Amino acid sequence: MTGNAKRTPDRSIAYRDEEPETGQTAGGAAAGTSVPPLVLLHGYGGSHRYFDEIFPLLTKHLRVIAPDLRGHGDSAAPEGVYSMETLADDVRKLLDHLGLERVVLLGHSLGGYVTLAFAERYPERLAGFGLLHSTAFPDTEEGRENRLRTAEIARRRGSAPVIDALAPKLFSPANREKMADRLDFVKRIGYGTPSNGIIGAALGMRERPDRRAVLERAGVPVLLLAGAHDEAIPAERRFPADGPHIVKVELPDAGHMGMLESPRAFADAILDFVKRC
């Protein structure tokens, strides 16, 4: 566990939780103004450490909480299928532990699928929510078959071969060599993901439904943030809904990992969005 991580009392969920700098709030609001805490959910094979670089940019203005999802990082990794609803319930459990009634919830990739499940089940707990390099579409049939293959590889050979195949595709082609150190960072996190987590989340993602209606019917602001060169989320799936409550942001120099490929623009987009919530 990293030095700044904490655990819930039952030790099932590890998380990072940092308060804003004294007197600072989102959008330059006066000290004492109520600003919803921001909860960030990482992607598949990741951990809260995906957000290390943007934490100091965000905590100048916001309280930021980033858990390790079930089966990832330092959170518990039980056997079984990790449905998006189960992972959403884990997030609710963390919010209850922290005494937080309403938050802004943003999820990266897998974390976006969890965010949608949370928004469907617990809309009253959200001041705003969004997808970071994610989509509301379900898997295609080919994608569903790939989830089964991924689970089988992890079952037979562990997490490393899954991460070795996945990690390079998360960065734009131009950034794979230029940001080799960041790609290695992502791999190191992935290698530490228990095989139960790789399997459970893959099978859970395979089962997720179409949740475009959750975006369309939301009664709070929604952020859709995408990378122009994302090879994991095709262009036609990046902005799956429209409406006056939906904010769309495209990062021109990023693939699937805006927090590492374009951290300043990524953080600025989040801060601008939180002003609306």
Counting the structural domains of the chain, the total is 1
Mean of pLDDT values over 180-184? 98
Q: Is the pLDDT of residue 52 over 70?
A: yes
The per-residue pLDDT of the chain, averaged, comes to: 94
The pLDDT score that the predictor gives to residue 86 is 98
CATH number, domain of 56, equals: 3.40.50.1820
CA atoms within 13 A on the CB side of 256: 27
Q: Is the pLDDT of residue 115 over 60?
A: yes
Q: CB atoms < 10 A from the CB of 242, how many?
A: 11
Mean of pLDDT values over 143-153? 98
The pLDDT score that the predictor gives to residue 34 is 76
User: CA distances (Å), 1 to each of 67, 99, 158, 235, in order?
Assistant: 12, 23, 21, 36
Instruction: End-to-end CA distance of the chain: give it in Å, rounded.
Output: 32
Q: Which two three-digit tokens encode residue 152?
A: 């089988």
Give the Cα separation of 18 and 63 in Å (integer): 6
The pLDDT score that the predictor gives to residue 202 is 98
Whether pTM > 0.75 for this model: the answer is yes
The pLDDT tens digits for 9-30 are 998 999 999 999 755 454 444 3
The pLDDT score that the predictor gives to residue 22 is 58
The pLDDT score that the predictor gives to residue 21 is 75
- Asked if residue 202 lies in contact with residue 194, where contact means CB atoms within 8 angstroms, the answer is no
Q: Is the pLDDT of residue 55 over 90?
A: yes
209-212 contacts: CB < 8 A, separation 24 or more?
209/138, 210/136, 210/137, 210/138, 211/113, 211/116, 211/117, 211/120, 211/136, 212/136, 212/137, 212/240, 212/241
The pLDDT tens digits for 226-245 are 999 999 999 999 999 999 99
Q: Is the pLDDT of residue 262 over 70?
A: yes
The pLDDT score that the predictor gives to residue 29 is 40
Q: CB neighbours of 187 closer than 8 A, spacing ≥ 6?
A: 163, 164, 167
Give the Cα separation of 189 and 263 in Å (integer): 18
Q: Is the pLDDT of residue 39 over 80?
A: yes
- The dihedrals phi and psi of 55, each to the nearest 5 degrees, come to -55, -55
3-state secondary structure 88-110: HHHHHHHHHHHCCCCEEEEEECH
Give the Cα separation of 211 and 180 in Å (integer): 35
Q: Is the pLDDT of residue 109 over 70?
A: yes
Q: What is the DSSP letter of 49?
A: G
Mean of pLDDT values over 199-227? 98
Range of the domain at 222: 5-274
Q: Is the pLDDT of residue 1 over 50?
A: no
Q: CB atoms < 10 A from the CB of 99, how many?
A: 6
Band (pLDDT 50/70/90 cuts) for residue 218 is very high
